[in-house]
Chain A
Amino acid sequence: MAWKFDNPLGTLTTDDQNVSAKKLWNEETLGGITEDNKRLPQPVVALMVLTIITAFMITFPLWGKRPTAAIYAPYIEMMSSAEVQGKSDDEAMTYIVSQVKASGFEWQSELERHPLEMDDLRLIRDQLIKLKQQGVDLREYNVLGNQLVMANFEGNRRADGSVERFQPWWDKGYTIAGFFIIFFTIGVVIAIKRLPENEWQPTHGGH
Chain B
Amino acid sequence: MAFREYKVGARMFGLAFGSSMFITLYMPAVDIASVSATTSAMERQLAFGRVGGFSYADPFLRGHGKPVTVDIVQDPKTGAAIEPTRAYVYTPEIPFPNGVRHPRILGELPSELSVSKGRMTDADEVQGAVFVVRETTREGISVPYIENVTATRGWTPEATLARADDKNRAFIGKGKIMFVREGCWWCHTLLPEQTQDWQYFGAPPMLGDFNGESPTAFGSDRKGPDLTHVGSRNSSREWMMLHFFNPRLVQPHSIMPRYDYMWGDVDADGRPIDYDAWRAAYDEYEAGNTIYPPEVPVPAVDSEARALIDFVINLK
Contacts and interface: CB of A to CB of B under 8 A. Distances in A.
Asked whether the complex places CB atoms of A and B closer than 8 A, the reply is yes
Interface of A: 17, 20-21, 24-25, 28, 30, 35, 64-67, 114, 144-145, 147, 149, 152, 154, 176, 180, 183-184, 187, 191, 194-195
Nearest to A67: B195
B1 A28 contact: yes
Q: Which among A17, A30, A145 has the highest number of chain B CB atoms within 10 Å?
A: A145
Contacts of A194: 5
B207 interface: yes
Contacts of B23: 176, 180
Given A24-B3, A154-B207, A176-B23, 14 more contacts: A17-B4, A20-B3, A21-B4, A114-B195, A144-B203, A144-B204, A145-B198, A149-B203, A152-B204, A152-B206, A180-B20, A183-B19, A184-B16, A191-B5
B31 A154 contact: yes
Contacts of B202: 145
Contacts of B16: 184, 187
Contact of A35 (B1, B20, B194, B204): B1
B8 to A, nearest CB: 8
B235 to A, nearest CB: 19
Contacts of A184: 16
Interface string B174-209: 000000000000000000001100110011101100
A12 to B, nearest CB: 11
Contacts of B206: 152
A137 B204 CA distance: 22
A154 B208 CA distance: 11
A75 to B, nearest CB: 16
A21 B4 CA distance: 8
A142 to B, nearest CB: 9
B11 to A, nearest CB: 11
Contacts of B1: 24-25, 28, 30, 35
5 contacts: A24-B3, A114-B195, A145-B199, A187-B16, A195-B3
B216 to A, nearest CB: 16
Contacts of A64: 194-195
A114 B35 CA distance: 30
Nearest to A183: B19
A193 to B, nearest CB: 12
Contacts of A21: 3-4
B15 to A, nearest CB: 9
Dominant secondary structure at the A interface? mixed
Nearest to A35: B1
Contacts of B203: 144-145, 147, 149
A185 to B, nearest CB: 13
A88 to B, nearest CB: 23
B211 to A, nearest CB: 14
Contacts of A183: 19
B162 interface: no
Interface string B1-32: 10111000100100010011001000000010
A23 to B, nearest CB: 10
A147 B198 CA distance: 11
A152 B207 contact: yes
Nearest to A25: B1
A39 B207 CA distance: 49
Q: Which among A20, A35, A154 has the highest number of chain B CB atoms within 10 Å?
A: A154
A112 B198 CA distance: 18
Q: Which among B31, B198, B207 has the highest number of chain A CB atoms within 10 Å?
A: B198
What 8 A-B pairs are tightest by C-beta distance, nearest first?
A: A21-B3, A152-B206, A145-B199, A66-B194, A144-B203, A145-B198, A25-B1, A152-B207
Contacts of A149: 203
A207 to B, nearest CB: 14
A27 B16 CA distance: 32
Contacts of A30: 1
A100 to B, nearest CB: 19
B198 A144 contact: yes
A66 B31 contact: no
A96 to B, nearest CB: 20
Contacts of B31: 154
A144 B35 CA distance: 22
A80 B172 CA distance: 48
A25 B3 CA distance: 8
Contacts of B35: 154
B204 to A, nearest CB: 7
A159 to B, nearest CB: 19
